[in-house]
Amino acid sequence: MITLHHLNHSRSQRILWLLEELELDYSITTHMRDPKTQLAPQSLKDIFKLGRSPVVTIEETDKPTIVLAESGAIVEYLATRYGKPELRIGAEEDTYADYLYWLHACEGTIMPPLIAELVMGKAKAKKKPFFVRNIADKVIDAIMDAYYRPNGNENLAYVEEHLAKRHAAQETFFIADRFTIIDVMMLFPLEAIYATRSTQTPSHIRRYVDAMHARPAYIKALSKGGDYDFGPQTAA
């Protein structure tokens, strides 16, 4: 039995989506963020010591229970162990190098500036004594402007250029002529950008996100996952 330990408003939504795409039998244990800190609760740390999401546990007869964290690791494991061959790109295919790049770039390159923007935004919003507020906010803005915002903007432009070429070639999916785990990985940062920047999001990223949101398995996963800030945007 596969159990997804699902944290609201988190990367675990992509795992839920993949499970629906694979049409696997699974169960969901939902963990809610602390309303004050927005961090994962102790119940998730009881499953995986770092208390990060997503986490899946896999129980099979006469085998030790597998506890697996990290989106990329979970996606690869599920697609390899239970998946359909077309979900992955083989080494013999022309897009194999692109497949490897985007599989790792998603969390290694695209996500860090987004996380920094989220964390720094919360730091600015946090109540501070009046006499330190301006200084603290200026320090936060200086850090963002020196590194994270420029890198985030470059990443966004790079993805938009990539998707513009895909759409010009009449291709719907991120790297291949079919749905793959790259779509599962890449949607999360792009839908997060779309949800927080709305119409300021570049047009080809919006088009791609809308196409993935229209997939029946995505819609089904959304209905099962509960609250999710980054789902389809009605203002789009």
Residues 6+ apart with CB under 8 A from 9: 33, 227, 228, 229, 230
* Cβ pair 83, 178 in contact under 8 A: no
Q: Where are the alpha helices (DSSP H) in the chain?
A: 12-22, 42-45, 71-81, 96-105, 111-125, 130-143, 149-168, 181-197, 203-213, 216-225
Q: Which of 15, 97, 18 is nearest to 56 (CA)?
A: 15
Strand order in the sheet with 55-58: 26-31, 2-7, 55-58, 66-69
Q: What is the pLDDT of residue 85?
A: 86
CB atoms within 10 A of CB 58: 19
Q: What is the pLDDT of residue 200?
A: 86
| Residue 90 to residue 231: CA distance in whole angstroms | 30
Q: What is the pLDDT of residue 126?
A: 61
| Residue 215 to residue 4: CA distance in whole angstroms | 21
Q: What predicted TM-score, i.e. pTM, was given to this entire model? A: 0.88
Residue at 86: amino acid letter: E
Report helix angle 181-197 to 149-168, nearest 10: 120
Residue with tokens 């997060």: 192
Tens of pLDDT, residue by residue over 8-40, are 888 999 999 999 999 999 999 999 888 777 778
List the chain residues with pLDDT less than 70: 119-137, 139-141, 144-147, 233-236
The residues that bridge with 31 in the sheet, in sequence order, are 7
Q: Is 93 helix (H, G, I), strand (E, B) or coil?
A: coil
Q: What is the pLDDT of residue 127?
A: 59
Q: Which of 148, 158, 150, 234 is nearest to 198 (CA)?
A: 234
Q: Which domains does the chain have, with CATH numbers?
A: 2-83 (3.40.30.10), 96-215 (1.20.1050)
